Structure 1
Amino acid sequence: MNLAKISANGQITVPVEVRRQLGLKSGDKLLFLQKQNGEIIVSNASATAIRKAQAAFQGVAEEMGINSEEDIQELVNEVRYGRKV
């Protein structure tokens, strides 16, 4: 168990073990989520956003017929130049 003390300004220092587990570095933001049972979960806001984006995009490449890096480059060229290069 790790404890953190709250300063008079409401600031806390996240224990090093917790920072390592969450992959936090200076300047990162923490996300506080309250579950229905009242429990509070703390997570790395950037990592949470990436996981949500990954879940939202899961399967989209296959639906679009993108199966390789070459397919991605062709799509980029179409968007960038308006045609296949």
Structure 2
Amino acid sequence: MAKGQVTIPKDIRDKLKLTEGERVTFICQGDYAIVMNSAIYAMKTLQKEMQGKFEAVGLNSDDDINDLVKEIRQEIEEI
């Protein structure tokens, strides 16, 4: 069975910060495809999905999020 492997030129691998065995995502747009590091693509997709949702629950800054994380960690330690 085919593994679905492709060879990506070194200069492109370097620009995408890819190492051997890392996965890439192909995004087809019309008659061309964009190649992205799969981890970066996943993060960008998550950021787009979550946009505005943090603000909706009162998390307006990195400090707010860090405080929430600390609070949750403390609750977990108490269990």
TM range (shorter): 0.5 to 0.7
Q: Which runs of 5 or more structure 1 residues have no equivalent in the other structure?
A: 1-8
Q: Secondary structure at the match of 1:62?
A: helix
Output the aligned Cα RMSD: 2.7
Deviations 1:10-44 (A, max 9, x none): 75432111012222122310112333x34233221
The one-letter code of the counterpart of 1:34 is C
Greater helix percent: which structure?
A: 2
Q: Which runs of 5 or more structure 2 residues have no equivalent in the other structure?
A: none
Q: Does 1:61 align with 2:54?
A: yes
Q: Highest Rg: 1 or 2?
A: 1
**TM-score when scaled to structure 2?**
0.64
Query: Sequence identity of aligned pairs in percent?
Result: 31
Q: Secondary structure at the match of 1:49?
A: helix
- Structure with greater contact order relative to length (CA < 8 Å, sep ≥ 6): 2
